[in-house]
């Protein structure tokens, strides 16, 4: 974990957040600026800076993240209506925290392409 990374601090419970799921490898919490009725951020506890930092050694975290997303979609009921899982990489894509994270969005119709 990185000392000054806000998501690492959330994973270490140093910053208050509304955690909705946690296991030994993954933490999920409600986004502080939601863009949909269901907007949950899912992160690996291990600090991985983004998509381009995923390796064969740490790649199994992707399965764990998607299983957490599936579980949370079921728990929130968006599995019945539809949802989106979004990951951004790099500043031009909108990544503002450089710790790999996935947004689980649902609870309203989502347009495409996103703005």
- Domain residue limits at 25: 6-106
- Residue 115: inside a domain: no
Q: Which residues are catalytic?
A: 101
CATH code at position 30: 3.30.428.10
- Residue 66: inside a domain: yes
Residue-wise pLDDT for 48-78, tens only, equals 999 999 999 999 999 999 999 999 999 999 9
Q: Report residue 94's pLDDT band, with 50, 70 and 90 as the boundaries.
A: confident
How many domains are contained in the chain?
1
- Residue 112: inside a domain: no
H or E element at residue 17: none
- Residue 29: inside a domain: yes
- Residue 99: inside a domain: yes
* End-to-end Cα spacing for the chain: 32
Q: Report residue 114's pLDDT band, with 50, 70 and 90 as the boundaries.
A: low
pTM equals: 0.94
Name the average pLDDT for the chain. 95
Residue-wise pLDDT for 28-44, tens only, equals 999 999 999 999 999 99
């Amino acid at each position: 974990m990185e000392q000054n990374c806000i998501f690492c601090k959330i994973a270490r419970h140093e910053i208050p957040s509304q955690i909705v799921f946690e296991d030994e490898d993954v933490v999920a919490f409600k986004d502080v600026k939601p863009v949909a009725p269901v907007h949950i951020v899912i992160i690996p506890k291990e600090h991985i800076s983004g998509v381009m930092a995923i390796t064969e050694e740490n790649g199994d975290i992707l399965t764990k993240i998607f299983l957490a997303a599936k579980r949370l979609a079921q728990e929130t009921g968006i599995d019945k209506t539809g949802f989106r899982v979004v990951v951004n990489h790099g500043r031009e894509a909108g990544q503002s925290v450089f710790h790999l994270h996935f947004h689980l969005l649902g609870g309203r119709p989502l347009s495409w392409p996103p703005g």
